[in-house]
């Protein structure tokens, strides 16, 4: 039923939502795979040992990657370069090295120079997550029917990419490949700018003195509740996302500001036709997302317990 595992030993460097979900998903499909882990925080390492989704949790990244044929960097983007330098001398020959960062060019620039010639570097980004973080946040179905984008540079061994794709498919996700810079622009549109807008809207509510905090909490409509869900995401991760994907995010925010000015004018001038036509076009995007299977038309936006959005 499970088929042969594409890797025999997976090392997870960083033990938060994505890494723990990977461990649970791999366990469910290939229980024979050895999983080792490392996190900088001793508390996180101890918590992971209690949960038990790793066969062994090491006290150093070098120990965790020893003998692994797949190494996954699942740490904030700002920490990846230093970690890559630390583990480089300990990576096994022919190992595959990947990451789960939301920005790809910055990861390639930071990690790439440290990758030994005998290691295959295949940067990756699973488009899945929740507002929760830490080793207890993970669950095996996180990646079901989600996209996992890979951005390998030219010359990477196709067999290494295929092995990683096989693992990703076994965890329930779909893969696609694209150039790193294009990935960063696409994600600025679909994830990074929307997150910044959500953070801003929640911040506006927090600073609006004519509306009390209790009113914001008690009378939150669905739209604002969704903003707060997004704005509850890991602050370290998102700080690094915006600092490392600065140009693409600023480009999209500039376009957003221009669109917002147009809508402000339409509202001010009472231009109902413009507003109706605009909302009709944007509504079609929502239908396309549902038709693509990336969400449901359910009133709860398809967000059942512990499901990503």
pLDDT at 283: 81
pLDDT more than 90, % of the chain: 63
Alpha-carbon span 106 to 26, nearest angstrom? 28
pLDDT more than 70, % of the chain: 90
- The stretch 47-72 carries a mean pLDDT of 97
The residues near 140 (Cβ < 8 Å, ≥ 6 apart) are 21, 24, 25, 27, 28
Quick one: tokens of 207? Answer: 């600073």
Domain boundaries, the chain: 9-178, 182-269
Following DSSP, what letter does each residue of the chain receive, concatenated? Answer: -----S-SEEEEES-SHHHHHHHHHHHHH-TTSEEEEE-S-HHHHHHHHHHT-SSEE-SSHHHHHTT-SEEEE-S-HHHHHHHHHHHGGGPPTT-EEEE--S-SHHHHHHHGGG--TTSEE--EEE----S--SGGG--TTTTTT-EEEE-PPTT--HHHHHHHHHHHHHTT-EEEE--HHHHHHHHIIIIIHHHHHHHHHHHHHHH-TTS-HHHHHHT--HHHHHHHHHHTS-HHHHHHHHHHSHHHHHHHHHHHHHHHHHHHHHHHHT-HHHHHHHHHHHHHHHHHHHHTTSS--STTTT--TT---
Alpha-carbon span 301 to 297, nearest angstrom? 6
Q: What is the pLDDT of residues 160-189, one digit of tens each?
A: 999 999 999 999 999 999 999 999 999 998
Q: Which of 11-25, 174-188, 269-283, 285-299 has the lowest mean pLDDT?
A: 285-299
pLDDT at 302: 45
Q: What is the pLDDT of residues 138-155, one digit of tens each?
A: 999 999 999 999 999 999
Please determine, for residue 309, whether its predicted confidence score (pLDDT) is greater than 90: no
State pTM to two decimals: 0.81
Cβ-contact 101, 107 below 8 angstroms: yes
C-alpha to C-alpha distances, 93 to 32, 156, 271, 279, nearest whole angstrom: 21, 15, 65, 54
Closest residue by Cα to residue 293 from 122, 145, 121, 83: 145
C-alpha to C-alpha distances, 180 to 101, 124, 167, nearest whole angstrom: 12, 10, 21
Tell me the average pLDDT of the chain. Answer: 88
CATH code 1.10.3660.10 for 182-269: yes
Cβ-contact 74, 18 below 8 angstroms: yes
CATH C-level class of 9-178 = alpha beta
């Amino acid at each position: 039923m499970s088929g042969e595992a594409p890797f025999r030993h997976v090392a997870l460097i960083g033990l938060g939502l994505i890494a723990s979900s990977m461990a649970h998903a791999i366990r469910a499909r290939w229980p024979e795979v050895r999983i080792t882990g490392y996190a900088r925080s001793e508390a996180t390492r101890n918590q992971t040992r209690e949960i038990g989704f790793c066969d062994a949790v090491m006290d150093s990244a070098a120990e965790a990657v020893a003998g692994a044929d797949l190494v996954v960097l699942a740490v904030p983007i700002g920490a990846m370069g230093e970690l890559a330098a630390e583990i480089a001398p300990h990576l096994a020959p022919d190992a595959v090295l990947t990451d789960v960062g939301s920005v790809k060019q910055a990861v390639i620039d930071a990690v790439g120079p440290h990758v030994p010639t005998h290691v295959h570097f295949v940067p990756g980004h699973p488009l899945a997550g929740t507002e929760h973080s830490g080793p207890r946040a993970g669950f095996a179905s996180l990646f079901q029917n989600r996209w996992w984008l890979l951005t390998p540079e030219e010359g990477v061994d196709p067999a290494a990419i295929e092995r990683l794709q096989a693992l990703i498919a076994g965890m329930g996700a779909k893969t696609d490949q694209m150039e790193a810079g294009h990935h960063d622009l696409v994600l600025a549109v679909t994830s990074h700018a929307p997150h910044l807008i959500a953070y801003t809207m929640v911040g506006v509510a927090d600073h609006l003195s004519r509306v009390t905090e209790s009113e914001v909490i008690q009378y939150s409509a669905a739209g604002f509740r969704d903003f707060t869900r997004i704005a509850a995401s890991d602050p370290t991760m998102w700080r690094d996302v915006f600092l490392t994907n600065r140009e693409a995010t600023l480009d999209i925010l500039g376009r957003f500001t221009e669109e917002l000015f147009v809508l402000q004018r339409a509202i001010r001038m009472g231009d109902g036709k413009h507003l109706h036509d605009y909302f009709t076009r944007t509504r079609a995007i929502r239908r396309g997302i549902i038709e693509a299977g990336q969400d449901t038309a359910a009133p709860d936006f398809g967000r059942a317990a512990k499901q990503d959005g």
